[in-house]
Structure 1
């Protein structure tokens, strides 16, 4: 590379860095889990998307990462968008479905039309697409941008540094949770998205603030809103998953593995959260940050 292109590349990099949003300080919640026979693990609440980067690597988090022998996440292949899209496409189609407008609360049909217009889609584009997949697609498109690059899940994966990464679910299993919902619940999901664009992620600005501050009381209140306020959806998408995960984590701890468990902070909140469920299994769970 000659001097002129080098200088141009340097100037461009400097400009891009100057335009990039400044990272925000963060103090997210972290717990240590101890068993009676010396078992140990860590629970770290993440947030899946943020509108700007976060300074989440505190001394306590780094110490927990160093002490762990594996990283445990919901889905490991977050960077492989092509694979995720392929999985989504394979699971989301069924022939003979009625039009989307016939699958929602009639009072929301104007909202559907407005949202379709906003994201540049047509109802015909969703012919044969299952209701849960319509809900996820519209929720993501309505956000207008993808802030997942600032999400802490990806950052934790990058911090694995050669340690094994264990999936609690994986993309197919996670999408399968939606796919397995009865049609009535899928329609509740779509109605929730239409009433509150982005509700599918239950990650409001208030939740992002609460995550940065490690305010688990606020996170618990926020995760009782939107689609998780629906009892059936809450049971399928929240409480049942937490029960399953706590069992898997107890198995890891019983094998004397030392997991650093990084999942959405909502899954750490309240009496149905992972810290409470592991405490109910006899572990000592201590909030360390």
Structure 2
């Protein structure tokens, strides 16, 4: 489940309106003081500098709820100062998403998921679909990795964390209002191709593991643990979550670490390098796990000689 939180796509919600008490200085100060006390730090925020240029790196989760907003004032100030928003994928490009799903998430016409699953895995899938009230016909041509992620997203929404309230879409909305340039680090086609790189056996293992954890509640517990750590900017808990995944021996944890993190982080760091050489100020919002550890984007940039400061 953690991998879905980190890599699934998202939306927005409102933010604090500082003009409410604008004509009452005393009230404004009281409001600011209350805001400082009540708004928790969320995620993790870094500042990377190079020859007078600055790139802020903010770790997100790709789902959300109204209680996530407003974000920490330090984050909103960094975002406002930036001339460009940089995200993993611009999810507003629905046509690119559709084409990527068609190319990587569906079997060719005439093939169904049953033809690629063992009898036991197929039976477990049908049981899960009945539990979610999802007709088999609606997922018949989907590949196992896509079905697994779809059910994970549905469960997150049922638990009060819909992807349409996620952090990236919040930033995209703000970028549109503030007329900021938006740049992608990756494409939808590339991201979905990573899941499609699993062979049939790996995809079945990925599906069965997720179905099992959805059924016994382990998936949601892991998800809630990570979200709780993100909501309180609990660096130790976030690092512990990463360490647990690195030690994991199942297909999902191996895929997350080797493909979704180790394979992508160096390319992300390289693109941040390019931003630092060309852009005065940029704000980069990516899944929080990309920013953790020696192999995270900030760690890689520091190893390459850039000045990296963890703001919180």
TM-score bracket for this pair, using the shorter chain length? 0.7 to 0.9
Cα distance in 1 between the residues matched to 2:235 and 2:122: 36
Contact 2:124-2:208 within 8 A present in 1 as well: no
Paired position in structure 2 for 1:181: 198
Cα distance in 1 between the residues matched to 2:123 and 2:66: 33
Paired position in structure 2 for 1:165: 182
Runs of 4+ in 1 over 6 A off after TM superposition: 198-203
Cα distance in 2 between the residues matched to 1:199 and 1:159: 35
Task: State the Cα deviation string for residues 45-81 of structure 1 (Å, max 9, x = none).
Answer: 1111124331343332233123312100012234x66
- After TM superposition, give the deviation of residue 168 of structure 1 in Å: 0.9
- After TM superposition, give the deviation of residue 276 of structure 1 in Å: 1.0
Contact 2:116-2:200 within 8 A present in 1 as well: no
Paired position in structure 1 for 2:140: 127
**Residue 309 of structure 2: SS of its match in structure 1?**
strand
Distance of aligned partners of 1:199 and 1:244 in 2 relative to their CA distance in 1, 3 Å threshold: farther
Contact 1:92-1:133 within 8 A present in 2 as well: yes
Contact 1:42-1:64 within 8 A present in 2 as well: yes
- After TM superposition, give the deviation of residue 202 of structure 1 in Å: 9.9
Provide TM-score, normalisation by structure 1: 0.78
Task: State the Cα deviation string for residues 223-264 of structure 1 (Å, max 9, x = none).
Answer: 444778632442111111111111111111122442200111
Paired position in structure 1 for 2:233: 214
**Residue 308 of structure 2: SS of its match in structure 1?**
strand
State whether structure 2 residue 161 is matched by structure 1 residue 138: no
Paired position in structure 2 for 1:65: 79
Contact 2:59-2:288 within 8 A present in 1 as well: yes
Contact 1:185-1:233 within 8 A present in 2 as well: no
Distance of aligned partners of 1:81 and 1:251 in 2 relative to their CA distance in 1, 3 Å threshold: closer
Provide TM-score, normalisation by structure 2: 0.72
Paired position in structure 1 for 2:101: 88
Contact 2:45-2:56 within 8 A present in 1 as well: yes
- After TM superposition, give the deviation of residue 123 of structure 1 in Å: 3.7
Distance of aligned partners of 1:83 and 1:187 in 2 relative to their CA distance in 1, 3 Å threshold: same
More divergent stretch after superposition (202-211 vs 235-244): 202-211
1:191 to 201, 205, 208: 208
Paired position in structure 1 for 2:253: 230
User: Structure 2: 5+ residue runs without aligned partners?
Assistant: 1-37
State whether structure 2 residue 282 is matched by structure 1 residue 259: yes
Cα distance in 2 between the residues matched to 1:214 and 1:105: 44
Paired position in structure 2 for 1:27: 41
User: Structure 1: 5+ residue runs without aligned partners?
Assistant: 1-23
Computed over aligned residues only, the root mean square deviation of the Cα atoms, in angstroms, reads 3.1
Cα distance in 1 between the residues matched to 2:259 and 2:220: 15
More divergent stretch after superposition (273-282 vs 53-62): 53-62
More divergent stretch after superposition (233-242 vs 125-134): 125-134
More divergent stretch after superposition (167-176 vs 47-56): 47-56
Paired position in structure 2 for 1:8: none
